[in-house]
């Protein structure tokens, strides 16, 4: 509620209190008048005053101040009538004092003056009557009258002071609220900037490490790169938590409303936890197959809710335990309640700890000795998200037995068809063999049994359970089984049986993430954690858009023939984005500014444009609008806002501006694929088989041979440069030649800015030089550029003058080194 509405509500409350007191006073005065046989004509006038006062309030006519003066006038008139009877003069004084105290709440000093003047007139009235002999002086006690006069004067002063204090307090409250609003806005701006500044280097870390992991064949280096990527992702997750918590705390959280598939969200969760660190507990995902296929809500935050709950449960559950994720819906008139239930067999909580978790930020076993990772914001963020979505959270827990968190979130339903559909269920009959003795915790067995039973019952598939291998063999011999569902241990114990089973029976085995799939195996393998969709994909024996086991399917997504443009003022971001898009078979052009993007679009038609937001001169929004205007209404180029500014509501802002979609940095592959498949026609993408053919091997050998040339470089660290270029010597060479071509222009531009003493733009130019020289391995040049850049920002002119010529010399030395090795091809 804003300040004006709040003040209006307060004024309404004060008026109601005044009018209720006035009404009771009028009734009482009428009764006293009739009982004492006072002037009867006054009674109707008293009630008319009360009716007029209520009418003014109900009708809302006139301003607040005028209504208060009218109320004060009628009350003063009634009190004058009451005090005009000399025996009630003292009581009238008390009533006026009480009225003055009551009206001081209105902050209207003139209303107090009305009561004060009414009392003066009442005294003058009795004085005139006494002087004219109508009343006797003995009917009034001088000391008591003096005390009454002092009481009225004091009431007037105190009431006036209260009015001033209320006015000052309200003004201070308004100023404080305005200051808080300004601080909130500053906080949001700060978070937007922090998001941009922190996400950009994390994008480089996770993006480049991902590209290098794909190229690396040596297991140790691959493990090291994976660790680097994991650390980057953890840091990114912590930043996301801080941003989310800040938005919840400041009330600036904005929800996104878009169509989504819950199966896609669960697929992403399953994929993430498939590669969770070793030694963790068993994870079981039980997704109801009859959940509506498409709903409307904030899919990103629903995914984060599930992720926080899962991570929190895993942290406090040992490796012999289990975490069970159960997702289902309850139909409602507005659509459905999405129900998320996460149960673990971990350490649990006491009632006191559970209450503290519900009431605010609290992390079990917190402190230096705590066993859990994280910064303790997970459940607080979950509570904030769910409350904003209009849902509720319930936590049940028992020490040493585990915790259950239930969440219900209202969602609109777009397509109420089931999320998971099985081809010809009437033709299927399935046997499930899971050994009961292989899990130390009986809860693991129970959750797996419940998940499989719920899935197959929901799909209406006949299922036969077997607890022993001999029992399974009898089932297969006596029934027309179409599928056998087993786990990794069961497969390895009787591998020959499953590989040589009759051809019309399909074997589906759930295996761990590090299981090596045998070459030529007839079985279908699905990675844990499995859920209903992965089981159905295996039964259907087909790869769908939601397939999450590429090793099983042997296919990858490609966008052959798609022309892309990446716009970013950070060269490292361009390198990462181009490398990722090239992995999909895209032809990607890159430019460093909004105006360059506009000019590129005038020369060439692109299918998709990735547009950074925060760029100098022309930002991403302006550039996008210029491209749209130049292209005309018949253009179908998809323009994606590609930015590290991912605070709440930013997606809606970009969509409102005219972008087709929003992609946050660092790039999440699943989100990138989802957006591209959504925006590009289905004819532009497909899933193809991955083959390591002879030509690819020859290409790798050629790259390896080409690295000998880089060994002759003196000013550059060639190994570093080749690593940044995804291990490709050819790409490294093209980057070097590009730098050599630009070297003279860079030196000339820095000299112009130096001569003009334009230190602001001088530092911006050196910032770009620092990054580009680091990419090619020119570490000394990169270091020198960074030092002078800092001096330029601080306007330390003496340092700049002392080092500027050395900077130009190093630029020239790097250029000469490149031209010496590559024979002057950079001209």
CA–CA distance, 196 with 636 (Å, rounded to integer):
29
Q: Cis link prior to 529 (omega < 30° from 0)?
A: yes
Q: Which residues pair with 661 in a beta bridge?
A: 640
CA–CA distance, 667 with 662 (Å, rounded to integer):
11
With beta carbons less than 8 A apart as the criterion, state whether 662 and 650 touch: yes
pLDDT tens track for 16-67: 999 999 999 999 999 998 888 888 888 888 889 999 999 998 988 788 889 9
Residue 102 or 697, more confident: 102
- pLDDT on residue 645: 60
Give the rounded distance of the alpha carbon of 124 from its chain centre: 72
The architecture that CATH gives domain 694-822 is: Up-down Bundle (1.20)
Label the pairing between strands 322-332 and 282-287: parallel
pLDDT tens track for 302-361: 998 999 899 888 888 888 889 999 999 999 988 999 999 999 998 888 888 777 777 654
Average pLDDT of 752-776? 79
Helix 219-250 and helix 142-215, axial crossing angle in degrees, nearest 10: 160
The architecture that CATH gives domain 430-513+527-543 is: 3-Layer(aba) Sandwich (3.40)
Average pLDDT of 460-471? 86
Q: How confident is the model at residue 265 (pLDDT cuts 50, 70, 90)?
A: confident
- pLDDT on residue 17: 93
Give the rounded distance of the alpha carbon of 354 from its chain centre: 25
CA–CA distance, 274 with 277 (Å, rounded to integer):
9
Quick check: pTM over 0.95? Answer: no
- pLDDT on residue 724: 52
Residue 239 or 361, more confident: 239
Average pLDDT of 602-629? 89
- pLDDT on residue 19: 92
Do the first three CATH levels of 430-513+527-543 and 557-689 match, i.e. the same topology?
A: yes
- Fold type of domain 262-419: Heat Shock Protein 90 (3.30.565)
Q: How confident is the model at residue 692 (pLDDT cuts 50, 70, 90)?
A: very low
Residue 376 or 85, more confident: 85
CA–CA distance, 573 with 564 (Å, rounded to integer):
15
With beta carbons less than 8 A apart as the criterion, state whether 458 and 421 touch: no
User: Is 189's pLDDT higher than 80?
Assistant: no
The beta-carbon contacts of 180-185 under 8 Å, at least 24 apart in sequence, are: 184/250, 184/251, 184/252
- pLDDT on residue 277: 55
Average pLDDT of 756-779? 78
pLDDT tens track for 542-582: 433 333 333 334 467 888 889 999 998 877 678 767 877 88
Mean pLDDT is highest, among 87-96, 437-446, 527-536, for: 87-96
Q: Which among 36, 153, 146 has a CA at the least distance from the CA of 88? A: 36
How much is the mean pLDDT over the chain?
Answer: 81
Average pLDDT of 676-698? 68
760: tokens are: 């602001």
Q: Which residues pair with 295 in a beta bridge?
A: 260, 413
User: Is 825's pLDDT higher than 80?
Assistant: no
pLDDT tens track for 407-447: 999 999 988 888 887 777 888 888 889 887 777 788 888 88
Domain positions in the chain are: 3-140, 262-419, 430-513+527-543, 557-689, 694-822
CA–CA distance, 101 with 110 (Å, rounded to integer):
13
pLDDT tens track for 190-224: 765 666 567 667 767 777 787 777 777 787 787 78
Average pLDDT of 246-273? 81
pLDDT tens track for 655-684: 888 899 888 766 777 778 888 988 888 888
Buried residues in 149-186 as b, exposed as e (16+ CB within 10 A): eebbeebbeebbebbeeeeeeeeeeeeeeeeeeeeeee
With beta carbons less than 8 A apart as the criterion, state whether 404 and 339 touch: no
Q: How confident is the model at residue 367 (pLDDT cuts 50, 70, 90)?
A: very low
Phi–psi pair at 164, nearest 5 degrees = -65, -40
477: tokens are: 């011999």
User: Is 511's pLDDT higher than 70?
Assistant: yes
Lay out the sheet containing 563-567: strands in order across: 587-591, 563-567, 608-611, 638-643, 661-664
CA–CA distance, 298 with 385 (Å, rounded to integer):
10
Region 557-689: CATH code: 3.40.50.2300
Average pLDDT of 795-813? 87
Any idea which residue has 């297969």 for tokens?
476
Residue 605 or 518, more confident: 605
Q: How confident is the model at residue 647 (pLDDT cuts 50, 70, 90)?
A: low
């Amino acid at each position: 509620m804003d300040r004006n509405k709040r003040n209006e509500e307060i004024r309404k409350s004060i008026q109601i209190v005044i009018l209720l007191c006035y009404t009771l006073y009028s009734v009482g005065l009428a009764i006293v008048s009739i009982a004492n046989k006072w002037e009867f004509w006054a009674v109707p006038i008293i009630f008319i005053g009360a009716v007029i006062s209520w009418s003014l309030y109900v009708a809302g006519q006139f301003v607040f101040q005028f209504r208060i003066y009218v109320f004060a006038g009628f009350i003063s008139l009634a009190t004058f009538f009451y005090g005009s009877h000399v025996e009630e003069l003292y009581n009238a004084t008390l009533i006026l004092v009480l009225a003055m105290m009551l009206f001081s709440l209105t902050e209207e000093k003139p209303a107090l003056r009305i009561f004060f003047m009414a009392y003066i007139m009442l005294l003058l009235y009795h004085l005139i009557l006494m002087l004219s002999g109508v009343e006797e002086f003995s009917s009034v006690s001088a000391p008591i009258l003096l005390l009454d006069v002092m009481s009225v004067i004091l009431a007037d002063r105190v009431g006036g002071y209260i009015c001033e204090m209320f006015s000052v307090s309200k003004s201070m409250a308004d100023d404080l609220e305005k200051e808080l609003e300004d601080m909130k806005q500053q906080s949001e701006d700060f978070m937007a900037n922090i998001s941009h500044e922190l996400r950009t280097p994390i994008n480089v870390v996770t993006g480049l490490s991902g590209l290098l992991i794909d190229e690396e064949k040596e297991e140790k280096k691959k493990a090291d790169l994976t660790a680097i990527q994991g650390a980057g992702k953890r840091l990114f997750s912590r930043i996301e938590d801080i941003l989310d918590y800040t938005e919840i705390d400041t009330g600036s959280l904005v929800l996104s409303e878009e169509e989504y598939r819950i199966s896609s969200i669960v697929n992403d969760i399953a994929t993430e936890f498939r590669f969770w660190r070793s030694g963790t507990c068993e994870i079981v995902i039980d997704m109801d197959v009859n959940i509506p296929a498409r709903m409307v809500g904030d899919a990103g935050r629903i995914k984060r809710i599930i992720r926080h709950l899962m991570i929190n449960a895993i942290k406090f559950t040992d490796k012999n335990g289990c975490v069970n994720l159960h997702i289902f819906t309850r139909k409602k008139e507005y659509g459905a309640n999405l129900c998320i239930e996460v149960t673990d067999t971990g350490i649990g909580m006491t009632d006191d700890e559970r209450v503290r978790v519900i009431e605010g930020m609290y992390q079990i076993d917190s402190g230096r000795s705590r066993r859990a990772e994280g910064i303790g914001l997970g459940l607080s963020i979950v509570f904030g998200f769910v409350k904003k979505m209009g849902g509720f959270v319930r936590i049940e827990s028992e020490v040493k037995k585990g915790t259950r968190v239930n969440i219900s979130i209202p969602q609109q339903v777009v397509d109420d068809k089931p999320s998971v559909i099985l081809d010809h269920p009437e033709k299927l009959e399935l046997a499930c063999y899971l050994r009961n003795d292989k899990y130390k915790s009986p809860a693991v067995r129970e959750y797996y049994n419940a998940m499989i039973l719920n899935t197959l019952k929901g799909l209406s598939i006949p299922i036969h359970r077997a607890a022993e291998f001999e029992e399974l063999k009898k089932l297969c011999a006596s029934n027309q089984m179409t599928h056998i569902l087993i786990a990794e241990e069961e497969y390895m114990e009787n591998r020959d049986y499953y590989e040589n089973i009759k051809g019309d029976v399909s074997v589906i085995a759930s295996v761990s993430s590090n299981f090596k799939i045998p070459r030529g195996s007839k079985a279908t393998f699905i990675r844990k954690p499995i859920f209903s969709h992965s089981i159905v994909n295996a039964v259907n024996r087909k790869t769908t858009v939601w397939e999450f086991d590429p090793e099983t399917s042997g296919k990858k997504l490609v966008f052959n023939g798609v022309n892309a443009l990446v716009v970013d003022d950070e060269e490292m971001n361009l390198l990462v984005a181009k490398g990722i898009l090239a992995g999909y078979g895209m032809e990607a052009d890159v430019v460093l500014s909004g105006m360059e993007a506009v000019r590129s679009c005038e020369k060439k038609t692109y299918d998709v444009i990735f547009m950074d937001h925060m760029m100098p001169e022309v930002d991403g929004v302006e550039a996008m609008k210029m491209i749209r205007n130049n292209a005309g209404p018949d253009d179908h180029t998809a323009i994606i806002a590609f930015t590290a500014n991912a605070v709440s509501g930013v997606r809606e802002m970009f969509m409102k501006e005219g972008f087709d979609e929003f992609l946050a940095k660092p790039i999440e592959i699943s989100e990138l694929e989802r957006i591209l498949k959504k925006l590009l026609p289905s004819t532009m993408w497909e899933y193809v088989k991955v083959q390591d053919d002879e030509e690819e091997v020859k290409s790798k050998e050629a790259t390896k041979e080409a690295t000998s040339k880089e060994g002759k470089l003196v000013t550059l660290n060639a190994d570093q440069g080749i690593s940044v270029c995804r291990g490709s010597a050819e790409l490294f060479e093209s980057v070097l030649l590009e730098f050599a071509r630009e070297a003279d222009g860079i030196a000339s531009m820095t000299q112009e800015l130096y001569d003009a003493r334009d230190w602001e733009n001088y530092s911006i130019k050196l910032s770009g030089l620092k990054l580009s020289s680091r990419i090619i391995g020119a570490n000394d040049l990169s270091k020198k550029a960074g030092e002078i850049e800092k001096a330029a920002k601080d306007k330390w002119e003496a340092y700049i003058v002392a080092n500027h010529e050395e900077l130009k010399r190093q630029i020239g030395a790097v250029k000469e080194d490149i031209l010496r090795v590559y024979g002057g091809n950079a001209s």
